[in-house]
């Protein structure tokens, strides 16, 4: 026993010494070039993305010639567990991409470095989208930088609309009518309305003047039981249950588990997805690719519904030993030239006001992106939307015949508790 104790004590001392040593070497890494800069990118990564990032690295090396940039791709489904491991094991990145709905959770957990001063002294800091930047702030401090954003719209078949003499729908009634016409003439479901697609559902709620929750006196108060939200969700679920223009086979699924594939194969009239879907659908089948078009998600009484500004931000990890170099990397990755190259490759809109798409086919998305909105900026949104999937499960239950008012009352109670962690 004595030996074990002695060994444990020695080990502990050694560890402590090592930790101290590491700390005193570069407490904040001010003005230094580390040997290695770890960059985490979300998603599976592609050869094109790697090539783009190599260009960024070359540019970054002009200032930090001795720093080796190591990029790691984290697939989206593994994001939560990978960040948990990073927090537990201390093996985190220096710079990381973050899904914008996760930023508030990260700030609340203390995993992001405060970059307020560095951000303010960056020459381009006033070029960034103000709404998106708001989501990166907490308590007057800045923790992340908006990088790119994506908005959703309704994908449709231009040839079918022309043949059946349908105009792109401007309100809900026209959307239903268009779906019905396609369904009758083409013998395919008119529109896809999966239950697990909160980002699209939000546009219907907002397009009817409703909200998920709003901040009142510093607390989030759920608004899902209000008539505007109830009516919007009844419309969305009614596409399946009442109008029968959306198939029941997408209940319990998201837009990638059926609708995207079916639309690309010509087995679905319309479905809601973002600009990035074009690339993916071409992989499934590019036979009809030139016949695909998009129109904005309509509001109930006409006009474009506000769309959820999904997207990604860039942040410096709290445990990084080289925060200055890390921020330098962000400024290179998100300078005007690289932001444009990235937007053109990825199909996502840049969050810089001075950058737009080169491809005219995606111009519609630039227009749609003018009217964006955020879900409640609460650290509890992750729990509400990812762990408990409150809205998807409520929508599913309603699509399977449960009364909407009752389900949304329950969902609203959960919003009241979960969004105020």
Give the torsion through C-alpha atoms of 276, 282, 287, 292, to 10 deg: 0
CA distance 116 to 139: 11
Contact residue for other proteins among 150, 269, 274, 380 (CB under 8 A): 380
| Least spacing, CB of residue 254 vs other proteins, in Å | 7
Contact residue for other proteins among 150, 192, 238, 247 (CB under 8 A): 247
| Least spacing, CB of residue 401 vs other proteins, in Å | 10
Stretch that binds other proteins, among 65-73, 101-109, 229-237, 327-335 (CB under 8 A): 101-109
Determine, following the binding rule CB under 8 A, whether residue 421 of this chain makes contact with other proteins. Answer: yes
CA distance 88 to 86: 6
Determine, following the binding rule CB under 8 A, whether residue 80 of this chain makes contact with other proteins. Answer: yes
Q: How many residues bind other proteins (CB under 8 A)?
A: 45
| Residues 159-198 contacting other proteins, CB under 8 A | 195-196
Radius of gyration for the alpha carbons in the chain, expressed in angstroms and rounded: 24
**195 exposed, middle or buried (CB, 10 Å; 0-12, 13-18, 19+)?**
buried
**25 exposed, middle or buried (CB, 10 Å; 0-12, 13-18, 19+)?**
exposed
Determine, following the binding rule CB under 8 A, whether residue 109 of this chain makes contact with other proteins. Answer: yes
| Least spacing, CB of residue 142 vs other proteins, in Å | 19
Determine, following the binding rule CB under 8 A, whether residue 274 of this chain makes contact with other proteins. Answer: no
Stretch that binds other proteins, among 64-72, 216-224, 252-260, 351-359 (CB under 8 A): 252-260
**355 exposed, middle or buried (CB, 10 Å; 0-12, 13-18, 19+)?**
buried
Contact residue for other proteins among 127, 170, 388, 409 (CB under 8 A): 388
Determine, following the binding rule CB under 8 A, whether residue 261 of this chain makes contact with other proteins. Answer: yes
| Least spacing, CB of residue 98 vs other proteins, in Å | 9
Smaller CB separation from other proteins, 102 or 231? 102
Determine, following the binding rule CB under 8 A, whether residue 285 of this chain makes contact with other proteins. Answer: no
Long-range contacts of 287-292 (CB under 8 A, 24+ apart): 288/157, 288/159, 288/264, 291/157, 291/158, 291/159, 291/160, 292/155, 292/156, 292/157, 292/158
**Count of C-beta atoms within a 10 Å radius of residue 262:** 19
Contact residue for other proteins among 137, 186, 244, 253 (CB under 8 A): 253
Name, in order, each residue with C-beta under 8 angstroms of 361's C-beta and a sequence gap of 6 or more: 278
CA distance 231 to 44: 38
For residue 164, give the 3-state DSSP assignment: coil
Place of tokens 């009817």: 208
∠ CA 395-101-218, rounded to 5°: 90
Determine, following the binding rule CB under 8 A, whether residue 248 of this chain makes contact with other proteins. Answer: yes
Determine, following the binding rule CB under 8 A, whether residue 376 of this chain makes contact with other proteins. Answer: no
Are the CB atoms for 314 and 97 separated by under 8 Å? Answer: yes
Residue 11 phi/psi, 5-degree rounding, is: -60, -45
Give the torsion through C-alpha atoms of 140, 146, 152, 153, to 10 deg: 100
One character per residue 293-332, x = contact with other proteins (rule: CB under 8 A): --------------------------x-------------
Smaller CB separation from other proteins, 238 or 380? 380
Contact residue for other proteins among 38, 40, 100, 106 (CB under 8 A): 106
- Kindly give the pairing relationship between strand 310-316 and strand 95-99: antiparallel
| Least spacing, CB of residue 289 vs other proteins, in Å | 19
| Least spacing, CB of residue 121 vs other proteins, in Å | 28
Contact residue for other proteins among 191, 245, 379, 398 (CB under 8 A): 379
Residues that bind other proteins (CB under 8 A): 79-81, 83-84, 87-88, 90, 102, 105-106, 109-111, 195-196, 247-254, 258, 261-262, 265, 267, 319, 379-380, 382-383, 385-389, 392-393, 396-397, 400, 421
């Amino acid at each position: 026993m004595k030996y074990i104790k002695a060994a444990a004590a020695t080990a502990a001392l050694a560890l402590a010494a090592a930790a101290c040593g590491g700390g005193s070497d570069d407490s904040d890494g001010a003005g230094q070039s580390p040997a290695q800069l770890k960059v985490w990118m979300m998603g599976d990564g592609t050869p094109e993305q790697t090539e783009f990032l190599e260009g960024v690295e070359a540019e970054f090396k002009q200032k930090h010639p001795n720093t080796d940039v190591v990029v790691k791709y984290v697939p989206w489904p593994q994001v939560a567990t990978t960040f948990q491991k990073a927090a537990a094991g201390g093996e985190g990145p220096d710079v990381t991409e973050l899904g914008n709905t996760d930023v508030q959770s990260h700030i609340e957990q203390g995993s992001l470095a405060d970059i307020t001063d560095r951000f303010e002294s960056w020459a381009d800091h006033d070029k960034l989208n103000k709404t998106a930047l708001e989501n990166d702030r907490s308590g007057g401090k800045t923790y992340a930088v908006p990088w790119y954003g994506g908005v959703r719209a309704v994908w449709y078949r231009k040839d079918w609309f022309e043949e059946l003499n349908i105009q792109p729908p401007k309100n809900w009634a026209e959307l239903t009518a268009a779906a019905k016409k396609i369904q009758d003439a083409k013998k395919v479901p008119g529109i896809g309305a999966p239950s697990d697609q909160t980002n699209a559902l939000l546009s219907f709620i907002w397009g009817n003047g409703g909200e998920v929750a709003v901040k009142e006196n510093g607390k989030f108060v759920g608004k899902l039981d209000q008539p505007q939200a109830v009516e919007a969700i009844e419309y969305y679920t009614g596409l399946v249950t009442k109008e029968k223009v959306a198939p029941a086979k997408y209940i319990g699924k998201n837009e990638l588990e059926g609708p995207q594939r079916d639309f690309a194969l010509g087995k679905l009239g319309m479905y809601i997805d973002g600009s990035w879907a074009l690339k993916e659908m071409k992989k499934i089948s590019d036979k009809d690719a030139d016949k695909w078009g998009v129109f904005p998600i309509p509001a109930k009484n006409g006009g474009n519904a506000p769309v959820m500004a999904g997207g990604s931000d860039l942040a410096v990890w709290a445990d990084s030993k080289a925060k200055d170099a890390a921020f330098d990397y962000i400024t290179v990755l998100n300078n005007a030239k690289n932001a444009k190259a990235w937007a053109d490759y990825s199909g996502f809109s840049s969050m810089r006001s001075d950058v737009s798409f080169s491809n005219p086919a995606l111009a519609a998305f630039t227009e749609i992106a003018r009217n964006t909105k955020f879900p409640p900026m609460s650290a509890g949104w992750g729990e509400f939307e990812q762990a408990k999937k409150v809205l998807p499960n409520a929508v599913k239950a309603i699509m399977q015949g449960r009364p909407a008012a009752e389900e949304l009352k329950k969902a609203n109670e959960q919003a009241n508790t979960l969004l105020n962690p």
